[in-house]
Every structure is written in structure tokens, then in C-alpha cells.
A and B are shown apart, each in its own frame.
Chain A
Amino acid sequence: MFSYLIRRIFIAVPLLLGVVFIVTASFDLIPGDPAALILGEFASESAVAELREELGLDRPLLVRYVDTVVNVVQGDLGRSLSDRRPVATILGETFPLTAQLAGTAIALVLIIGIPLGLAAATRPGSTVDNVIRVVSLAGLSMPVFWTGLVFMVIFSVNLGWTPVSGVGTWQHLILPSVTLALPSIAVIARMTRSTVLEVLREDFIRTARAKGISERSLLWKHMLRNAMIPIITVLGLQLGQMLGGAVLTETVFAWPGVGRLTVFAIFNRDYPLMQGVVMVLAMVYVGVNLLVDLSYGLFDPRVRYA
């Protein structure tokens, strides 16, 4: 187990280094001089030169990259250009809000998505199955920001049940988290359905049935546990979907998390802020998927971390 852990971390490290590289190199994709672009056309020569130095643009890409890696390892993500505070501090304020949103959404996915998938899989071909299939496909097809707006029109504007936007009470959390969770609920329901159907075909299920085991214990002990690995894997990937989806959901509901911060950074040409946010989100994503890999052993005794 321990050596497996070490090996997995060794795979994650180059991935993170690569992420930092892409984000650093994205500066060079910007047509023209980013410093001049940030400061606008009336900026003085010296101000532009100063900013170029601050952003490290006066140095070659590789030097800049090594510097960034050294800084990031020390927890220094640079300074925001718009309010001069360290990017790490700003992220410290906004990240918990996004985590709250994504955490609630993941909980909704587990509570709603998995039972829906099970309901469909245990009655394949039935009306319940067909309804769940069509509804989940529809859920997958609607753009997140649009569902958010439709929810807002129905539940906030017309019915007045929930606050329109912002943060504060638990009621503020309802619409954004449901909106964020919806596509993932659909994905997990579909995934659970097909995985469970797959597991049901396995020999050990037939053996268990032949032993005369109760359907209930068959479901919990044999089926769900074996179906859990693909479901957990997809759940990890869904988190990535959510971190990105948060950009849209937070924009719609004016939720002051990392997603809205990303959009703010882009429109204010606050490149250090944007790069910091993207790097941290990618790290969280890679980290979660590492945890997902490690959790396999919990669910499937056949997995040995040799």
C-alpha cells in the first residue's frame, strides 16, 4: 500500500509540473505585450517595463517557469494585479465558498444519483427505467448556466421561495448547489445503472443467489460494493466537472467563490490571479483523483497495491 502511494504521488507530481508549465506558457500565447495590454494604451514606458519585470516577462519562459515552480512549492502564487494582495490570500477567502458549494453538490449526487441508477438497473426495461434514462439524458443536455437561470426565474422571481443570489443563509445554497449537481446526478445515475447491470452478470452474483442469500444483502454486500469502483472513479471526474461548472454557477448566482474569481480575473486582465486560481483548481482535481485511486482497495478486496 505504502509503495503504491509513493508511486502514485510520483505520477501526480509531473502532472502538476506540467499544469504549471501550461499555465505559465499561456502568457506567451497572448498576442503582443501582456504588460502593455494590462496597463492600457496611455501607460508610460517605465510603468510597462516595471510590470513586465514584476510578471517576469523580461526573462525567458524556462527561467520564469522554474521560478514559478519554486514559488508555488513555497505557497507563493504571486500577487493580484487588481488589489495587490497575495493570490494565496484571496484564494483562502474564496475557496471555502466553492468547496461548500461543490461539497453540497457532491452530497446531492450521492443521495439522488446512485439510488436513481439502482432503481433503473434493478428493473431494466421498465417504465421507471425508461423515465430515469430519458430524464438523466435531458439533465446532461441542459447547460448549467441556463438551468440556474430557469430555477432562478421559477423559485426566486416567481415563487419567492429562495433568495435570488449571493451568500448568507442556507437558503442561498439551495439553487446553486442543485444547479451544479444536476448534470453530475445524471452522469452518476447512468453510470450506476450500467455498472450494476454489468456486475449482475458476474458469476459471483449467480453463486450468491444460488446460495440463497437475501436480495437485500445481495444488493448491499455483493452488488453495490463491486459497482462502487467505477462509480467512485466517475465521481472523482465529476468533481473536475464541478470545479469548472462552478465558474458558470457562481456567475449566475453571484456566489463569491473561486469560479467567479476566475471570471473576474479574466475580465480585469489580472493574469497572476487567473493563473493562481487555475493552478490551484487543477491541483485539487489531480489530488482528488489520486485519493480516488487509493480508495479502490477499500471497496474491492481484489485490488492489491502490489
Chain B
Amino acid sequence: MSLPEPGAGGPASAPRGGVNEARRKAIRRFFGNKLGVAGAVIVLAFVLMAIFAPWLAPFDPADQSLLTRRQAPDATHWLGTDEFGRDILSRIIYGARVSLGVAIGSVGIGLLLGSVAGAIAGYLGGVVDTVVMRIMDLLLAFPYLLLAIVIVSALGPGMINTIIAIAVWTVPAFARVARSAVLQIKERDFVVAAMALGAKEQRVMRVHLLPNFGATLVVYASLYLAYAILMESALSFLGLGVQPPRASWAGMISNGRNYLTSAPHIATIPGIAIALAVLGFNLLGDAIRDVYDPRATKDG
């Protein structure tokens, strides 16, 4: 949860050897970070799993069978079967589509709305700034999960409403990042200098603003993808999120609760998928932050 201070994720000054040189250095530094590479591998694995689910899944995730109900993991069903005899591994593979889909959808919307609102607030200042940021404060006044619960319980459960609820929750974070980045960068010497030298606005944006502001946003996006997966799983576990028969990891856990004594694998195994996916995005986010703010790890 230790998020970088908004704006702190960017390099301290404009990249000296040009954008490409800086990027190459950043990539080299990223690959030197073992945990970060591990995070990237985990994330990539889940993304591939989601895309190629129909080819990877050994069974149809919806295929029920009375004969194979609640079987512990064995050679045929590597992760066992659930209370309807459905193959848990196949359901986990298909579940990646739900979890990643909801996470990417909600963080994408949140990032877009949040950074536009924040950037406008920071750029225009004055009344607009005050109004926008007070609305953001208001959204942050709800304890974690409760705002999403209020939204979903009004709109009704389902995948789209889950995405909307989580997106609303992520908006303030991106708005704050974007606003403080715009405020900070607007005044930075290299931007002022570039403008004074007659650089076109587009160039200022591309060469100076985006690399600074972009790094922070990428870090936030990665960490918020992790939170979004957790949030979706929380809503789905409560029965407010993604609905059956769609295979969602948390939905599988929720169903498995009834068999904790006889078949604990039904409720416990899908949780490993959630934890791994979240860990992957957390590691990735941490590593990207360290790449742009090496101070954070050098000292420890």
C-alpha cells in the first residue's frame, strides 16, 4: 500500500540523453530487479491464461458430473472438482478472464476519468479545482469496499455494475496523481525552459510531461489493478459481484465454504489464484516505482 507520493515516481529531471536513452536505462534497471521480473512473469502468465483459456483448459468449465463431485486433486483433475463435479483447474483458467477483465476495465475507466478530471483541476485551478477535488475527497470518505457496496446494491449485481463500482472507487486516486503531477510539472524549470525556447505544446507534452507523469500513472495503475482484483473478489464473494454460472475465483471460494470439512480444496485452491495475480501486479508496480525512484530500494 505504500504508494509513491503523487509526482514522486517521475525522474527528478528531464532525461538528459533523450527519451530513448532514459527508457533503455529504465528497462535495464527493471530487469535487474528480480522481484519485479517475477511480477511481470506472473502477470504475463495470467494474461495469457485469460486469452487462451479455451485452449488451455483441460475440461469445459461448466461441465457438471455427478460421478466426479468434490474429488480431491488427482491425475485427471489436477486441482480436483467442485460440488457439481466441475474441473477446478479449468474454472480457474476461465476465471482469469473475469478477474482480469473486471480489473482492467475498472482501472481503465478510473484512470481515464480520474486523470482527465485531475489534470483539468490542476491546470485550471480556482473554483474548478476546489469543486473537483472536494468531490474526490467525498468519494474517499467511505471506508474501503463500502462505496462499492452502496453502488452495487443499488445498481444490482453483475459484471458491468461491478466494473462501474470499482471504477468509481479508483477515480480519486488517479485524479490526485494527475492533479499534483500537472501542478508540479507546470512549474518545473525544464518545462518552463522548453516553453521559453519556443517548444511546441505537443512536444512539451510528449517529451517532458508524459515521461514524468506517465511513470507515476503506470505505477498507480499496476497497484490499483491489484486492488481491483481484490475488490472484485470481495464483491463476488459476498454475492454482489460477478454472478454464477460465470466462473469467478471468489465465487468458487464462496460456494466451497459449505464443504470446508469434507472438501476444503474447493474453497482454498481458487484463493491461491487471486493471491498470485494480486501479488504479480503488486510486485510489478513496486518494481516500476523503484525504476523511476531508485532511492526507494537503494537504501534497502
Contacts and interface: CB of A to CB of B under 8 A. Distances in A.
The DSSP consensus for interface residues of chain B is: helix
Interface stretch (B51-59, B201-209, B273-281): B273-281
Interface in A275-292: 278, 281-282, 285-286
B146 interface: yes
Contact of A145 (B143, B237, B286): B237
Nearest to A23: B150
11 contacts: A22-B150, A143-B230, A143-B234, A143-B253, A147-B271, A153-B264, A190-B1, A247-B145, A278-B146, A281-B146, A285-B142
Among A15, A23, A146, A242, max chain B CB count under 10 A is at A146
Given A157-B264, A187-B2, A266-B153, A146 B275 contact: yes
A117 B98 CA distance: 35
B155 interface: yes
Interface of A: 14-16, 18-19, 22-23, 26-27, 29-31, 120-121, 124-125, 129, 134, 137-138, 140-147, 149-150, 152-153, 157, 186-187, 190-191, 193-194, 197, 201, 234, 239-245, 247-248, 251-252, 262-263, 266-267, 274, 278, 281-282, 285-286
Interface of B: 1-2, 35, 134, 137-138, 141-147, 149-151, 153-156, 226, 230, 233-234, 237-240, 250, 253, 257, 260-261, 264, 267-268, 271, 274-276, 278-279, 282-283, 286, 296, 299-300
A138 B275 contact: yes
A144 B234 contact: yes
A124 B299 contact: yes
Contacts of A146: 233, 253, 267-268, 271, 274-275
B82 to A, nearest CB: 15
Contacts of A262: 146, 149
A272 to B, nearest CB: 13
Contacts of B230: 141, 143
Given A140-B282, A245-B144, 12 more contacts: A18-B138, A19-B142, A29-B155, A121-B300, A134-B35, A137-B283, A143-B278, A149-B260, A241-B143, A248-B238, A251-B238, A252-B257
A285 B141 contact: yes
Contact of A285 (B143, B239, B274, B286): B143
A191 B286 CA distance: 13
A15 B141 contact: yes
Please list the 9 inter-chain residue pairs (A to B) with the smallest Cβ-Cβ separation, ordered nearest first: A124-B300, A146-B271, A244-B145, A244-B144, A29-B154, A141-B279, A240-B143, A141-B278, A243-B143
Contacts of B142: 19, 22, 240, 278, 282, 285
B1 A234 contact: yes
A26 B144 contact: no
Contact of B2 (A125, A134, A190, A281): A190
A278 B275 contact: no
Contacts of B144: 240-241, 243-245
Nearest to A289: B141
Contact of A149 (B153, B154, B257): B257
Contacts of A252: 257
A279 to B, nearest CB: 10
A191 B2 CA distance: 6
Contact of A27 (B141, B143, B154, B300): B154
Contacts of B278: 140-143
Contacts of A186: 1
A19 B279 contact: no
A286 B139 CA distance: 12
A157 B263 CA distance: 12
Contacts of B275: 138, 141-143, 146
Contacts of B1: 140, 186-187, 190-191, 234
Nearest to A29: B154
Contacts of B234: 143-145, 247-248
A30 B154 contact: yes
Contacts of B283: 137
A137 B2 contact: no
A19 B299 CA distance: 42
B253 to A, nearest CB: 6
Nearest to A195: B2
Contacts of B271: 142-143, 146-147, 149-150
A143 B237 contact: yes
A239 B144 CA distance: 9
